[in-house]
């Protein structure tokens, strides 16, 4: 048994030993698609993942990627979360070509909003912060037939957007996703606009006014969530008349 196999065995045993039937039963209500879970509370998953970090830090990058891909490939929610907790700790060793690996994982293993956001908000977000030119690849992802890749194009920028970064790129991504029929994609780019509104309220509000006739209500409601009541009312005004 290799070192990676042994670590996987122990991580999985720890997760199974901390499973809770009520947590397992309650998890499905947050998802439209079927999910596979042990039933471990989020805080406990974090504790387990962090317990193994000293061992994970001793691995070579390819070993780390093999370990994380195995966890994503299992399709068990908590295993994906463990990988997504580990990966951002290693942004310093990421190389630009690693984006191909991350895109492969998105295409093949990410199959619900929680896995998507857990992977994108930090691992991919930190990657783009390190290699800002790769934001152009996110714009290409908006054309993917895979709903989770399209959502990833938006939610990868969530953390930088909170700090007012990538506004023009956020608008470009929203442009490409504007009339997307998938509600998970609509929520993704609406969330991105909401985070940009923290520091660019005027610009985001003007963008919404310019596009509200075609923007799905789901995306619109997400986008205006942090705005003052009078701006929210104004953004929804024409919408209400149409409805």
Q: Do residues 226 and 152 both lie within one domain?
A: yes
What's the pLDDT score for residue 237? 83
Q: Do residues 80 and 19 both lie within one domain?
A: yes
Q: Do residues 215 and 157 both lie within one domain?
A: yes
Percent of the chain beyond pLDDT 90? 95
User: How many C-beta neighbours within 10 Å does residue 60 have?
Assistant: 9
Q: Pick the last residue of a domain from 93, 110, 125.
A: 93
Distance of CA 130 to the CA centre of its chain: 17
Q: Pick the last residue of a domain from 44, 65, 93.
A: 93
Kindly report the CATH number assigned to the domain that includes residue 140.
Answer: 1.25.10.90
Q: Do residues 79 and 109 both lie within one domain?
A: no
Indicate the number of domains in the chain.
Answer: 2
Judging by beta carbons within 10 Å of its beta carbon (0-12, 13-18, 19+), is residue 193 exposed, middle or buried? buried
How far is Cα 208 from Cα 225, in angstroms, rounded to an integer? 12
Q: Do residues 106 and 211 both lie within one domain?
A: yes
Distances (CA, A) of 67 to 14, 87, 99, 163: 16, 11, 17, 32
Per the CB < 8 A criterion, the answer to whether 207 and 175 are in contact is no
Q: Do residues 134 and 241 both lie within one domain?
A: yes
What's the pLDDT score for residue 137? 98
Q: Do residues 8 and 75 both lie within one domain?
A: yes
Q: Do residues 40 and 159 both lie within one domain?
A: no
**∠ CA 167-126-195 to the nearest 5 degrees?**
35
Helices (H), ranges, the chain: 3-17, 21-27, 42-51, 53-56, 61-73, 77-86, 98-109, 113-119, 125-130, 135-141, 147-155, 158-162, 167-177, 183-196, 201-211, 217-223, 229-242
Q: Do residues 70 and 137 both lie within one domain?
A: no
How far is Cα 225 from Cα 159, in angstroms, rounded to an integer? 17
Average of per-residue pLDDT values in the chain = 96
Mean pLDDT computed over 154-158: 98
Q: Pick the last residue of a domain from 93, 124, 152.
A: 93
pLDDT at 82 over 90: yes
- Domain with 89, as residue range(s), is 1-93
pLDDT at 103 over 90: yes
Q: Do residues 79 and 118 both lie within one domain?
A: no
pLDDT band at 243 (very low <50, low <70, confident <90, very high): low
Q: Do residues 126 and 223 both lie within one domain?
A: yes
Q: Do residues 107 and 56 both lie within one domain?
A: no
What's the pLDDT score for residue 242? 54
SS3 category, 229: helix
Residue 134 DSSP label: G
Residue with tokens 């995306």: 219
Beta bridge partners of 36: 76
pLDDT band at 60 (very low <50, low <70, confident <90, very high): very high
Q: Which residues of 153-171 are buried (b: 16+ CB within 10 A; e: fewer)?
A: bbbbbbbbbeeebbbebbb
């Amino acid at each position: 048994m290799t070192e990676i196999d042994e670590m996987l065995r122990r991580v999985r045993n720890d997760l199974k030993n901390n499973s809770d039937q009520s947590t397992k039963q309650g998890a499905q209500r947050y998802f439209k698609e079927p999910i596979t879970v042990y039933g471990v509370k989020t805080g406990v998953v974090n504790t387990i993942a962090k317990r193994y970090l000293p061992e994970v830090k001793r691995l070579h990058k390819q070993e780390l990627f093999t370990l994380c891909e195995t966890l994503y490939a299992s399709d068990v929610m908590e295993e994906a979360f463990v990988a997504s907790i580990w990966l951002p700790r290693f942004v310093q060793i990421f190389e630009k070509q690693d984006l191909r690996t991350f895109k492969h994982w998105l295409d093949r293993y990410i199959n619900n909003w929680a896995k998507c956001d857990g992977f994108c908000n930090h691992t991919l977000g930190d990657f783009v912060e390190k290699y800002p030119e790769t934001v152009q690849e996110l714009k290409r992802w908006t054309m993917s037939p895979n709903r989770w890749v399209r959502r990833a194009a938006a939610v990868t920028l969530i953390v930088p957007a909170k700090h007012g970064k990538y506004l023009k790129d956020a608008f470009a991504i929203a442009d490409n996703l504007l009339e997307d029929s998938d509600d998970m994609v609509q929520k993704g780019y609406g969330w991105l606009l909401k985070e940009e509104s923290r520091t660019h309220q005027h610009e985001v509000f003007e963008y919404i006014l310019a596009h509200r006739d075609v923007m799905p209500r789901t995306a619109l409601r997400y986008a205006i969530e942090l705005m003052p009541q009078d701006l929210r009312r104004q953004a929804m005004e024409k919408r209400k008349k149409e409805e």
